[in-house]
């Protein structure tokens, strides 16, 4: 397998993780939350069940899309990788253009 194929396969795994709307909601929430948030705060603010949030956060953590630390019985999650933040922002910009029917930026490779 070529080295580029290894990168492509890994990228495909990340995109598969990002294909879940609950995980995207959590990432978007963390992107716009001030600092880090514990599971209870995420559950309350997103109006989701705690087991669902915990499971999805576990997947995001496993794929290094969020970091976490524990204080007592609470587990706090945050985004700290600028690549993840850029991915979220770029994806939402793309969708915004689609929804509003706006043209996308010109192709830079023409």
Type and span of the H or E element at 15: helix 3-18
pLDDT in tens, 26-46: 999 999 888 899 999 999 999
- pLDDT for position 88: 85
- Hey, what domains does the chain have and what are their CATH numbers? 3-100 (1.10.10.10)
Please tell me whether the overall predicted TM-score, pTM, comes out greater than 0.75 for this model. Answer: yes
What's the pLDDT at 22?
97
The helix (run of H) or strand (run of E) holding residue 70 is strand 67-71
Q: Is 1 a residue whose pLDDT tops 80?
A: no
Neighbour-count burial for 42-76, b at 16+ CB within 10 Å, e otherwise: bbeebebeeeebeebbeebeebebbeeeeeeeebb
**Per-residue pLDDT tens digits for 40-63:** 999 999 999 999 999 999 999 999
pLDDT tens for each residue of 88-103: 888 888 888 888 887 7
Instruction: Report d(CA 40, CA 71) in Å as an integer.
Output: 13
């Amino acid at each position: 397998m070529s080295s580029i194929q290894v990168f492509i396969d890994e990228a495909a795994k990340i995109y598969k993780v990002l294909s879940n709307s609950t995980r995207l909601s959590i990432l978007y929430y963390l992107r716009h939350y001030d600092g880090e948030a514990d599971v209870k705060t995420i559950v309350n603010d997103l109006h989701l069940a705690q087991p669902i949030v915990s499971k999805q956060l576990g997947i995001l953590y496993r794929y290094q899309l969020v970091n976490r630390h524990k204080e007592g019985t609470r587990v706090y999650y945050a985004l700290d990788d600028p690549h993840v933040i850029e991915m979220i922002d770029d994806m939402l910009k793309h969708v915004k253009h689609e929804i509003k029917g706006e043209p996308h930026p010109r192709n830079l490779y023409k």
